Amino acid sequence: MAAPRKLDMRFVRSAQPTHRHEEYPDTEVPGLRLYVSKKGSMSYGFRRNPYGYKTIGKVGEISLGEARKIAAQWKVQFSAGQNPFEEMKRKKREMQVSADHRKPTLTDAWLQYKSAILVSKSEDHKRNMARSMEKHFLADFGKRAPDEVSRREFIAFREKHEIERPAEMRQMKAYISAFYKWMAETSAFMDYVDGPPNLGKINATANIRTRKLIDETDIRSYWRALDTVTPRATALALRFKFLSNKRGIEVRRLTPDQIDFRREVWSLPDVRNKAIGVQQPLTPTMLSLIHEALGNRSTGYVFSTTGGEKMVAFSSKITKYVAAEAGCEHISYHDYRRTFSTGLEELGVPHRVIKLTEGHYDRGIEAHYQQATVRPLDEQLAAYRKWEALLGA
């Protein structure tokens, strides 16, 4: 240990590390030390035999004057028969015990739920539940214990979101119920949860499922507006969907191996109870969209912004943009099929042919055409050409 001296900042700044740890005692407040490690770290501390040494704070994080005040207080406490070192240890132990016994928060429970339950769900379910719970529910209540959210708060949460996002709130109610049911059955949280909270009935109006474009001028405007969508691969996919009357996922999953370019026929993969043995003739316009999307490729997804590696994405922002660009009412991607089918009906196309273009699994149609392959393709092709003539495609 170095000789005692009155510590000042000039000396503190000049102190250099040596081959050993050094302590520089202060003469103004006996017991105060400047500590310099072999690696050069510097701190203020207090030494009192036989109680040992206690760090006050690092140089730069606490001033020399503040260190002197703390050392002086400790010196007075030791002189009075108290042990401030032991008191600090006791408080630290109490804080640790308090932390160990604190109530778990909803965020704590959510992290366990994600790793134990959500991980086994489908990718869509994982993505949608995580988004809704983390963006809305946990953003409001995540720091609270499960039993600290009142019935009034749950109702206020439901009322707010059923106005702002009714469809998502209906789904979020199911997510919250599943989450609370899991907590009620999990030992770490069951003391705080009896079961799913009562959010009440979701009073939001159900989504309208009968939207479609009827006016021919609006339909043509919408078709032209689709050509302005970016990225280009998305525009091509949406135009192909608008021409083919197929489901969005069927168009997005289209790959070159599903297409017989010589016969100009698209054979769709079977989907149980939805589309079995569906074949669609391809018009020159449809083929041109496919060829433009593929470019020089022969593998991967046809409609892709990543060279076929990933399928294009259809977002709600695009439908809003297209409706605004076309100057007509908003329709969803599924409404394309209603618009197409209604349009064909107005053009006098038989209902059984319209059903073929929709790709619905229909035992009656299957029986009607079970011995035929050419006629249904020809009838569909004629229907598609009528639709393209209406569009001006």
Final residue in a domain of this structure, among 184, 205, 233: 184
Confidence of residue 97 (pLDDT cuts 50, 70, 90): low
Tell me the percentage of the chain whose pLDDT exceeds 90.
Answer: 66
pLDDT score, position 252: 95
User: 331 or 94: whose pLDDT is higher?
Assistant: 331
**Average pLDDT in the 46-50 region?**
90
**Average pLDDT in the 87-97 region?**
73
Residue 207, in any domain of the structure: no
Residue 263, in any domain of the structure: yes
For residues 275 and 386, membership in a common domain is answered with yes
Report how far residue 384's alpha carbon sits from residue 369's, in angstroms, rounded to the nearest whole number: 19
For residues 372 and 223, membership in a common domain is answered with yes
Q: Which residues have a Cβ under 8 Å from the Cβ of 188 and sit 6 or more positions away?
A: 104, 109, 112
pLDDT score, position 179: 94
Residue 14, in any domain of the structure: yes
For residues 274 and 382, membership in a common domain is answered with yes
Residue 41, in any domain of the structure: yes
131 is in which domain, residue-wise? 106-184
For residues 68 and 164, membership in a common domain is answered with no
Residue 203, in any domain of the structure: no
Q: Could you read off the pLDDT of 133-142 as tens digits, one per residue?
A: 999 999 999 9
For residues 232 and 361, membership in a common domain is answered with yes
Confidence of residue 1 (pLDDT cuts 50, 70, 90): confident
pLDDT score, position 274: 64
Judge whether residue 144 has pLDDT over 80. Answer: yes
pLDDT score, position 272: 60
pLDDT score, position 370: 44
**Average pLDDT in the 220-235 region?**
96
Structure tokens at 303: 């409609």
For residues 177 and 225, membership in a common domain is answered with no
pLDDT score, position 101: 59
E-state strands within the chain: 22-25, 32-36, 42-48, 52-58, 259-260, 265-267, 279-281
For residues 37 and 90, membership in a common domain is answered with yes
Q: How far is CA 328 from CA 220, 279, 345, 346, in A?
A: 11, 32, 21, 20
CB distance 233 to 303 below 8 Å: yes
Q: How far is CA 6 from the centre of its chain?
A: 60
**Chain-wide mean pLDDT for the chain?**
88
Judge whether residue 151 has pLDDT over 50. Answer: yes
Residue 153, in any domain of the structure: yes
For residues 289 and 339, membership in a common domain is answered with yes
Final residue in a domain of this structure, among 140, 161, 184: 184
Residue 259, in any domain of the structure: yes
For residues 247 and 367, membership in a common domain is answered with yes
For residues 144 and 95, membership in a common domain is answered with no
Q: Could you give the 3-state DSSP secondary structure of residue 105?
A: coil
Overall domain count for the chain:
3
CATH number, domain containing residue 349: 1.10.443.10
Final residue in a domain of this structure, among 184, 203, 227: 184
CATH number, domain containing residue 66: 3.30.160.390
Residue 205, in any domain of the structure: no
Q: Could you read off the pLDDT of 268-291 as tens digits, one per residue?
A: 988 765 667 889 999 999 999 999
Q: Could you read off the pLDDT of 179-193 as tens digits, one per residue?
A: 999 999 898 898 888
For residues 236 and 378, membership in a common domain is answered with yes
**Average pLDDT in the 318-342 region?**
93
For residues 282 and 146, membership in a common domain is answered with no
